[in-house]
A and B are shown apart, each in its own frame.
Chain A
Amino acid sequence: MSNKVIYAIYNDDDILMDAVKQTRAAHHHIEEVFTPFPVHGLDKAMGLAPTRLAICSFIYGCIGISFATWMMNFIMIQDWPQDIGGKPSFSYIENMPAFVPIMFEMTVFFAAHLMVITFYMRSKLWPFKQAENPDVRTTDDHFLMEVAVNNNEEELVSFFTNTGAIEVKVIEKH
């Protein structure tokens, strides 16, 4: 019985946002919302904890700039010093302006790639993974809210019909 869930399907993101707020106000537990595109402010409306991805991104950026510093020092100063444009090549700090673009690019590279990988891992996504969308229309133009049912099926169905859902289904989830 506890595996029963309701699928309330909407065809407009504004109606969905209002429905999410009403559902939260009525203290029904929203399991998940499936949308074809990112709906602005939906995470706050659902009451999800703020993302910590930004902190990860900052740390990855720091790793990137450190790596670039080490790398340029190894390549251009220690391993194979070269005379480029008459610049003395035995000191990292004196050549530093030339390495700033590389340090910048490495920071961006590390932050961007590691952040995407982190995001995929946290979202449990990987290549060739089967889609988890309960309804294929959520990849096109419909929005689906999944809500847990606790012996209040009737009440919930009428509640969601009133929130503007175009379709309300009760599903036995496995």
Chain B
Amino acid sequence: MYTFSSKLKTFSFILMALGLLGIGYGFLTAPKDIQEVEKILAADSHGGHVEVKHEVSSESVAAHAVVADHKEVDLAVEGTEATTALEGHNEVAAATETHVAVVDNHNEVNEAAEHEEHLTHVLHQMQNKPWAALYVACIFFLLISMGVLAFYAIQQVASAGWSPVLFRVMQGITAYLPWGSVIFFVFLILCGLHFNHLFIWLDPEVVAHDKLIATKTGYLNFPFWIARAAIFLIGWNLYRYYSAKNCLAQDESNDDSFYKKNFNISAGFLVFFIVTESIMSWDWIMSIDPHWFSTLFGWYVFASFFVSGITMIAMVTLYLKSKGYLEHVNTSHIHDLAKFMFGFSVFWTYLWFSQFMLIWYANIPEEITYFITRIELYNLPFFGAVVMNFVFPILILVNTDFKRITWILVMAGVVILAGHYIDFFNMIMPGTVGDSWFIGISEIASVLFFMGLFIYVVFTALAKSPLLPKRNPYIEESKHFHY
């Protein structure tokens, strides 16, 4: 039996306390009216360029960037990549400045109104920011436990012989699911009660002026949306509850009936999961950009949280092993987890690129805006996520020996988890805070809070049952698993 060490418990409480403080700070310091926004913008814009960037809406910056790009190509400037990029940048600045000048000369009255409208827009973005930061961290940890649950169900259905010694670790991690679900569901209800504007289609005022969203109201409306969320979360939690219960009952049983029961409910769950997972990704993430759609979005989100879940299993396993528990988990088990981390990192990249390339190639305005926003305004996190989730893991984990070395695995795991947090950040932030994004106190505090809660819940659950499912029919094979 594992005992939750008081050190780790204190650590989780400190994380939660720090997180709560930071979240509170984020909400209190969010601007209340457009005067405050104006002050913040004035303080932000030391150089003229930043001001120009704020004067015009992000869409026109994007449009100008495209024009500038075309000029670059027509000129066919030979030279290094860096100079080309730099020149492109200058052209954008020049183009936007001219644009502003034109506005100034021709229509001063209109400009004042536009300026106020822009300030209101930025105000909404800044008020959304602490909510969005909370939302990203909340959904990220919820989906990590979902990724582990899906992995666990696959192991059950595949009758995998290698993994039963890790079942209790997986069940421990999925113990976070009910907690995460409740918090997440409350958050969705708060969205529906207009505490924030993360989902603009929830605002009847927006829908009234937006034909595209208006045609989608049959699907995107609050009652249907929240009912779907309730069904999905209850369904997943029911499977988690009964599966863990049967696994414990199997320990004391005289036959394999509980094991067989688990096989059946796991198969049923996987069918339910793959349908609800797709719909979940549209409802909770894709609908933040309600004009945009991608048909492989469900898979893309799945790949992201599935690899995070597997990485989390590896991290918790390595932690427990370092404390002297899980004596039956040998380097071959760790090696296999590392292979999954490697493989699903590549799978994520495959989907990331598939989504990107088709939209990049077709270059249809209603689709390409999604990536224009991310490349123009979120350049570092957008490409940083690819480096952290693909380049780094593939280079470090391609080596067989590295897959068995604890410190390398921990390092790779931390980078993968951080990278997939940024991936979710990239999915959610552009549609909610636009170019007012920043990874600051709100974002870090939200992650700290949910990490603390996650550690507390997971390790409390791990301490409640023996770490070896001793009567699982494959347990002998799993103990002797040798690659």
Contact = CB atoms under 8 A, between A and B. Distances in A.
A88 B400 CA distance: 42
Contacts of A166: none
B203 to A, nearest CB: 36
Contacts of B353: 97, 100
Contact of B356 (A87, A91, A97): A97
B482 A41 contact: yes
B271 interface: no
Nearest to A54: B400
A166 B23 CA distance: 74
Contact of A85 (B361, B400, B482): B361
Given A93-B81, A97-B357, A100-B353, A86 B363 contact: yes
B76 interface: yes
B419 to A, nearest CB: 20
B73 A98 contact: no
A98 B358 CA distance: 9
Interface string A46-68: 00000000100010000000000
B362 interface: yes
Contacts of B362: 85
A101 B400 CA distance: 26
B183 interface: no
Interface residues of B, number: 14
B179 interface: no
A97 B361 CA distance: 8
Contacts of B70: 88
Interface string B337-363: 000000000000000010011001111
A86 B362 CA distance: 9
Contacts of B357: 97-98, 100-101
A41 B480 CA distance: 13
Contacts of A88: 70, 73
B398 interface: yes
Contacts of B81: 93
User: Which of A91, A98, A100, A101 has its CB near the most chain B CB atoms (within 10 A)?
Assistant: A91
Contacts of B76: 90
Nearest to A89: B73
Contacts of B73: 88, 90-91, 94
A98 B356 CA distance: 11
A100 B386 CA distance: 14
A107 to B, nearest CB: 12
Nearest to A58: B398
A58 B394 CA distance: 12
Contact of A97 (B360, B398, B482): B360
Nearest to B358: A97
B400 A98 contact: no
A91 B70 CA distance: 12
A91 B75 CA distance: 12
Contacts of A100: 353, 357
Contacts of B356: 97
Contacts of A101: 357
Interface in A110-133: none
Contacts of A90: 73, 76
B391 to A, nearest CB: 14
Interface in A15-57: 41, 54
Nearest to B70: A88
Contacts of A86: 363
Contacts of A58: 398
A88 B88 CA distance: 15
A6 B92 CA distance: 81
Interface string B73-87: 100100001000000
Nearest to B74: A88
A60 to B, nearest CB: 14
Given A91-B73, A100-B357, 7 more contacts: A86-B363, A87-B361, A88-B70, A94-B73, A97-B356, A97-B360, A101-B357
Interface of A: 41, 54, 58, 85-88, 90-91, 93-94, 97-98, 100-101
22 contacts: A41-B482, A54-B400, A58-B398, A85-B361, A85-B362, A85-B363, A86-B363, A87-B361, A88-B70, A88-B73, A90-B73, A90-B76, A91-B73, A93-B81, A97-B353, A97-B356, A97-B357, A97-B361, A98-B357, A98-B361, A100-B353, A101-B357
Interface of B: 70, 73, 76, 81, 353, 356-357, 360-363, 398, 400, 482
Which A-B residue pairs are the 10 nearest by beta carbons? Answer: A88-B73, A97-B357, A90-B76, A97-B360, A85-B361, A93-B81, A98-B361, A100-B353, A100-B357, A85-B363
